[in-house]
Amino acid sequence: MSGNDIRYIDGGVCAPKGFRAAGVACGIKGVSDKKDLALIAGDVMCSAAAVYTTNKVKGAPLKVTKGNIADGRAIAIICNSGNANTCAPNGEEIARETCALAADSLGVKAEDIVVCSTGVIGQELSIKPFEKGMPELAAKLRHGGSAEAAEAIMTTDTVPKEVAVEFQIGDKTCHIGGIAKGSGMINPNMATMLSFITTDADITPELLDAVLKEDVKTSYNQICVDGDTSTNDMVVVLANGLAGNDTIDGEGEALDVFRAALSEVTTYLAKKLARDGEGATKLIECRVSGAADDKQARAISKSVIASDLLKAAMFGADANWGRVLCAIGYAPGDFSTENVDVDMSSAAGMVEVCRGSRHKEYSEEEASKILAEEEITISVDMHQGSGSAVAWGCDLTYDYVKINGDYRS
């Protein structure tokens, strides 16, 4: 239960009316029976909006998707894991053929399909596993299939990530559901890891696009696992209008409610991505207040959770606040660092470690106990304005090195 009468419910991307999903193993991940192909299909045409990675090297599917949803419409999302289809020969051809295969099995047009890939960069991808898997995938589509789709888009993720919320617009009950994947190569910038969001709310494509672009600034763009901005990041929202609310086509209470519900879903998934960072044992949240403005607060909070040194200190349950100050100091922008307060807290309590940019006496024993928890909050007060923001990351562990020292084998 959250504010604004937004209620968490089960069902993921299938919680909104009119969406089916499925996931199968088609062989892209090798001979294993690991699921590697997901399909999310709308019963009717949807408004569609997406944001993409800012990496100049872009996965071929992103280019195809960008063209396909240029008209603000789409009806289904097809996504494989195990191969990023990036820097691969015939990448765009494979992505288009994948759309055609999905479209054929759904009886829709290839230009209304969103296509995504995630996995290893630079390896050849064949259309064969898609051809093999598509019949089974289409046959398995069902209104309760969100969890299978969430599983099929995983790479080094340790848990599938899905969420759904229910809320009212006027007298109509609306839903937003989402799934996401991401564990490494996570430092979204104007986009994110793969995240697919569905809603039965009725909203124009233009507003959907505007709301999504604004939303990612405080959700996906505020997480970081390793500073590596992926080539394949993408967030897609499909809105089919089946909730029957008056079409949201401008500012007003309905848009405010939709915005809040979307933020609930995206923030939930963003935190899950950070917590499931490669090798992570802890979720690190940095809450900044008192910055000159929200944008400055976002930059500062993200700089803190992205610091390798701070991440390693959190792994070691070491209240080394000097590393927080150091990371604040190299955040972009021009601001004072002369009067900064830092607290560290968790379910085990709170300790004030820095006041006015100077050490504050505290019990190292108590601090270690607090930092031994799995969810740590670092609160920073900059004392120079009313800007605030939150960012999420994870600790840096032996397992991050292990996972990435030999990812391909």
Are 315 and 397 in contact by the 8 Å Cβ rule? The answer is yes
Residue 137, sorted as left (phi over 0), alpha (psi -120 to 50) or beta, turns out to be alpha
Distance CA 103, CA 113 (A): 7
What per-residue string of b and e applies to 311-340 under the rule 16 or more CB within 10 Å gives b? bbbbbebebbbebbbbbbeebeeebeeeeb
Closer CB to its own copies, 16 or 387, in the complex: 387
**CA torsion, ordered 338, 343, 344, 346, to nearest 10 deg:** -150
Q: How far apart are CA 11 and CA 197, in angstroms?
A: 12
Cβ closest to its own copies, residue 48 vs residue 84: 84
- CA dihedral sign of residues 53, 54, 58, 64: positive
Integer Cα distance of 114 and 116 in angstroms = 7
Smallest gap, in angstroms, from Cβ of residue 94 to its own copies? 13
Give the span between the Cα atoms of 166 and 198, in whole angstroms: 12
Are 395 and 281 within 8 A, CB to CB? yes
CB of 85 to its own copies, least distance (A): 11
Q: At closest approach, how far in Å is the CB of 79 from its own copies?
A: 18
With respect to its own copies, which residue has the nearer C-beta, 210 or 326? Answer: 326
Q: Is 96 exposed, middle or buried (0-12, 13-18, 19+ CB in 10 A)?
A: buried
Residue 144 backbone phi and psi in degrees, to 5: -110, 25
Closer residue to its own copies in complex, CB, 86/263:
86
Does residue 248 contact residue 202 with C-beta atoms inside 8 Å? yes
Alpha helices (runs of H) in 153-237, residue ranges in sequence order? 205-218
Q: For residue 192, indicate whether it is catalytic.
A: yes
Query: Which is the catalytic residue, given 192, 198, 231, 377?
Result: 192
User: Measured between alpha carbons, how far is residue 57 from residues 122, 224, 233, 260 in Å?
Assistant: 11, 19, 11, 33
The residue among 244 and 322 lying less far from its own copies, judged by its C-beta, is 322
Instruction: Give the nearest distance from C-beta 226 to its own copies in angstroms.
Output: 4
Kindly state the smallest distance separating residue 229's Cβ from its own copies, in Å: 4
3-state secondary structure of 320: coil
C-beta closer to its own copies: residue 227 or 250: 227
What is the rounded CA–CA span in Å between residue 8 and residue 177?
10
Task: Report in angstroms how near the CB of residue 362 gets to its own copies at its nearest.
Answer: 12
For residue 141, the minimal CB distance to its own copies (Å) is 32
Strand 234-239 and strand 194-199: pairing? Answer: parallel
Q: What residues line the site for its own copies (CB under 8 A)? A: 54-58, 84, 86-89, 120-124, 184-185, 187, 189, 226-231, 306-309, 312-313, 315-316, 318, 320-323, 325-331, 334-337, 354, 357-359, 396-398, 400-409
For the CB of residue 200, give the shortest distance to its own copies in the complex, in Å.
36
Nearer to its own copies, 250 or 316 (CB): 316
Q: Which of 101, 86, 196 is nearest to 149 (CA)?
A: 196
| Closer Cβ to its own copies, 172 or 360, answer by number | 360
Mind telling me the catalytic residues? 192
